[in-house]
Structures are given as C-alpha cells and as structure tokens.
Structure 1
Amino acid sequence: MTDEPTVAEQDLIELTADIVAAYVSNNPVPVSDLPGLIADTHAALCGLGSLTSTVAEEKLAPAVSIRKSVTPDFLVCLEDGKKFKSLKRHLATHHNLTPDEYRQKWNLPSDYPMVAPSYSAARSALAKTMGLGRKPASVKKAAKPAQRKKLGLKLS
C-alpha cells in the first residue's frame, strides 16, 4: 500500500488549498489559526460528499396532495405549493424542470394537465371564435370569363 493520495483526495487537497489561499488573501488571519482553518475547510469539503447521499435518500413529499393539486381554476405546484393557471413556465424558471420531468419526479400520469381546466376552456373558446384551427372555406373558382367579341375592322 502506498501513501500517495488517490485522485479524489488530491482534488480535495487542491480545492482546500485554493479556498484557504483565497480566504487568507482577502482576510487577516493569524498564522496560529491557519492549521485550524485548513483542517476545517478540508473537513467541510469531505462532508459535502456525504450530504448529497442523504439528500437523495430523502423521500419526496409534495406541498399538497396530488388529488388536490388540480382544481377548475388553478393548478397547485407540488414543489412549492403555489397556485398557477399554467405550470410550464414556473417549472422551467423556478425549478428547472420540463413538464415530463415534473410528471416523472412526482409519479404523475402522462395526461396530468399543465394548464388549469377553466383557463384551457376559455382559451379554446377564444380560439374558436377567432376561427383558428379550421380550414379556410373553399373559395369557388371563378368561371372563365366569356369570350369577348373581337372588335375591329373587317378587311376583305
């Protein structure tokens, strides 16, 4: 067995050195406190690896029940419990999720709505009154114009 640090340990040592050097260059630190600062920084960096595993093991709990998240007038975000007419933009900007990722994360069916039912119906009615989604009425082709009489001089 060798005393050389592994790649991960070497990375932690380099990160510790960089962080401590940056801190010491901007803050007055007594020389006697440097070993403690280095040890604390290294311990904090080592502890980061164990934190990610505990966060991943934590079971997801929605802000509201899935059943109550869909109402006629709004949808409730399962991430933070806020009410919206449309979830798509909120998910993208605040939680960095696509609708499919959101459905998968919360084990929702593929037909789970991203827009409140009443809002969807109102927008649909508006589109229908504007005539959107319909093929244009077929325009009858104009009949060929009748042959015009030639006006001119007859030369015989």
Structure 2
Amino acid sequence: MATLVEIAAQIVASHASSTPMTSDQLIFEISKVHSALKNLEAGEPVEGVEEPKASMTVKEAFKKGEVVCMLCGKGGFKTLARHLNTAHGMKPGEYKKQFGIPGKQPLAAKNYSEARRKMALDRGLADNLAKARGVRMANIEAKKAVPAKAAKPAKAAKAAKPAKVTKVAKAPKESAKAKVA
C-alpha cells in the first residue's frame, strides 16, 4: 500500500498538471496535503477546510469584457459555465447559490451577451422564434378542439383482387446495320 507521502505527491502532481506551480508551491502543497491526509487517517478534523469565500464582489467578477471565476480567481472568460464544470465540477446553479448571485444574472460577459443578441437579431432569429411559437400554439389549440375519436367501424371483408396482368415480351428490334446488309 502507498504511503501518505506518495499519495500526497500523486494528488499534488495531478493538481500541478492542470495548474502551473513553482517548486516552492509544490513543496508547500505536498506538505499541506500530507498533513491533511494524516489528520484524516487519525480521525481528527482537517484544518483549513472551509467553504471558499468570495475574494471579490459580484460586480468585480462580472465585468463588461470578461468574467472572473470567484472560486479560483482566473479571469478572461467570455462565459463561465464550461470553466465551472471542467475545473471545479460545479453546475452554474450551485455557483450562483454559493456566492449569492441572482438567478437571472447570466454567467457571461456583458459585451459577449450583447454581441450574441445583436447577431441573433441581424439573422432574424427572433422572428423565426416568434413564428415557431405561433405554430406550436396553433397546433396545441387544434388538438384541444378536436373531439375524442369515435370507435372505428368493423373492417369490411377484403374484396377480391383482380389478377395481375403480365407484360408480354416483345421481339428484339433489328439494328439499322442488319437492315442495310
């Protein structure tokens, strides 16, 4: 079985593969993970394990040109949903709940949302959506208006089918060369 130091090194190595770290940071992380594993093995509470608190306000995190992750502090995102899923294994609803972000607040930069909205309007997607909703509502209303189907009448006996007519094979035509000869 692997020792606690080996397990801690594996944990930090997997973390370091996705996050660039200096050698001092690696050593500090290994000692921190090792002590946490040691405390867990002894049944003691792990120190420093708290729910992460926002180091910035919602207003600071959602800028006009970018979105900054309030969990790890990384910025430069146009939208935050993919980062939350891949880096933190978190759904947008959980993230909003954890940091008290209003439900209607999009997890996207304001410029990005405006550009997407403008592009949709230029392509006429709003008109297409309105037409599709109208057709859908008409179909729903039509289904409501149709009374329940009456019982089907019993099937009549099948009429005798007429015999199939087969084609008579024609004799092959003589080619023009054969006539001349």
TM-score (norm 2): 0.45
Instruction: Tell me the equivalent position of 1:78.
Output: 70
Alignment partners' CA distance in 2, 1:82 and 1:45? 30
Distance 1:72 1:95, change over 3 A: same
Cα shift at 1:117: 1.1
Quick one: higher RCO (CA 8 Å, sep 6+), 1 or 2? 1
Cα shift at 1:66: 2.4
Question: What residue ranges of structure 2 are gaps of 5+ in the alignment?
Answer: 7-37, 132-181
1:5-24 equivalences under 5 Å are none
CA contact (8 A) 1:64 1:76 kept: no
CA RMSD, 1 decimal: 2.7
Asked if 1:109 is matched to 2:109, the reply is no
Question: What residue ranges of structure 1 are gaps of 5+ in the alignment?
Answer: 1-17, 24-42, 137-156
Distance 1:44 1:78, change over 3 A: closer
Alignment partners' CA distance in 2, 1:82 and 1:105? 17
**Cα deviations by residue, 1:24-78 (Å, 9 ceiling, x for unpaired):** xxxxxxxxxxxxxxxxxxx665336522x851xx253224222211111111110
Distance 1:77 1:45, change over 3 A: closer
1:1-156 equivalences under 5 Å are 46-47=41-42, 50-51=45-46, 55=49, 58-83=50-75, 84-135=77-128
The code of the aligned residue for 1:61 comes to: K
Aligned residues: 96
- Percent same amino acid among aligned pairs? 29
CA contact (8 A) 2:64 2:111 kept: yes
The code of the aligned residue for 2:123 comes to: M
